[in-house]
Amino acid sequence: MGIQGVVLAGGASTRMGQDKAYVELAGRSMLEWVARSLAEVTGDVVAVGRQKAGDYRAVPDEVPGRGPLSGVVTALRPGNSLIAVAVDQPFVRVETLQALRQLGTQQLSQPAPLPVVPHADGFAQVTCAFYPANFLDAAAQALGEGGSLRTALGAFGYEPWTDLPAGEDGRSWFSIDTLDALEEAQRRFQPPM
């Protein structure tokens, strides 16, 4: 199977005070910015954690209210590998996603592919990452035990991606989960293209 583009869109948006998937930025919703960027790289996009998602296919989270890990587990169930990006990361760069796809494709040629997770700003950026289909069991186990994506990655292992593409300044994983963060993003970065 191919690499699926996945918008992790199941959050409650409590800090934003409104559904952040539909917060507008430069004339488009955050959901649309992320989905369009993923579509350029994967061709096929699904919004996980929603009953509906505008023009995009939507799938509810297998276990609602459990954060991005539940979204990744849900998206891995059909047997696809995936590139997942959180709905509140509308500045995600197509160039970064293309490089991530290339690294993921290289992993898929290995006998035991590993997730590829950008490392930047001192953190593993788990909500802008490649997850191979064989990560499902470890992710589902972590979900069942009350863990997180970081827990699952710690148990399974992953490829840290530190040699990021030119021009990647952190915008691809800059999370906009408050109105203040939205203002900061607009100050720091050009609107998505």
User: pLDDT digits over 8-58, tens only?
Assistant: 997 655 565 667 888 888 888 999 999 999 999 998 899 999 888 788 888
State which H helix or E strand residue 94 sits in: helix 94-108
Q: What is the mean pLDDT of the chain?
A: 90
Handedness of CA 179, 165, 97, 3 (dihedral sign): negative
Q: Which domains does the chain have, with CATH numbers?
A: 3-188 (3.90.550.10)
Out of 10-14, 104-108, 143-147, 163-167, pick the least confident.
10-14
Nearest Cα residue to 68 out of 56, 82, 54, 79: 82
Question: Strand 159-161 and strand 123-124: pairing?
Answer: unpaired
